[in-house]
Amino acid sequence: MPEYLKTKNEYDQALKDAGNKLVVIDFTAAWCGPCKVIGPKFEAMSLEFTDVKFYKVDVDDNDETAEHVGISAMPTFNFYKNSEKIGSVTGANEAKLREKINELK
């Protein structure tokens, strides 16, 4: 199950600890309808793609990180390797999300 990153420090540490492993972060909000739809699918992917690190950031609880990365729509999925952003998918599109994971892992 994806862990929630509650602070900017946790976000920074998660990226650092992952090294060259693909990291996918779901920027979400409790009030976001599309986030509620894609959330269980994102969690299922975390069990399917065991070689990828999955995290969530609630943009209201961790606004410092959301502002740092420039989140303007939810859900937004950012992809990282070696602490560098290498891709993004905006919107609750399971097929696009799955395609991007396969492309980048």
Q: What is the pLDDT of residues 78-96, one digit of tens each?
A: 999 999 999 999 999 999 9
**What is the phi/psi pair of residue 2, to 5°?**
-65, 135
Query: How do 76-81 and 84-90 pair as beta strands?
Result: antiparallel
Q: Is 32 assigned a catalytic role?
A: yes
What whole-number percentage of the chain has pLDDT above 90?
Answer: 99
Task: Say which of 14, 24, 32, 101 is annotated catalytic.
Answer: 32
Task: Say which of 35, 52, 71, 74 is annotated catalytic.
Answer: 35
Three-state DSSP at 72 gives: coil
Nearest to 53 by CA among 11, 6, 96: 11
Residue ranges of domains in the chain, CATH in brackets: 3-104 (3.40.30.10)
pLDDT in tens, 8-27: 999 999 999 999 999 999 99
Q: How confident is the model at residue 74 (pLDDT cuts 50, 70, 90)?
A: very high
Round to whole Å and give the CA distance between 86 and 37.
25
Verdict on whether the full-model pTM lies above 0.95 = yes
Q: Is 71 assigned a catalytic role?
A: no
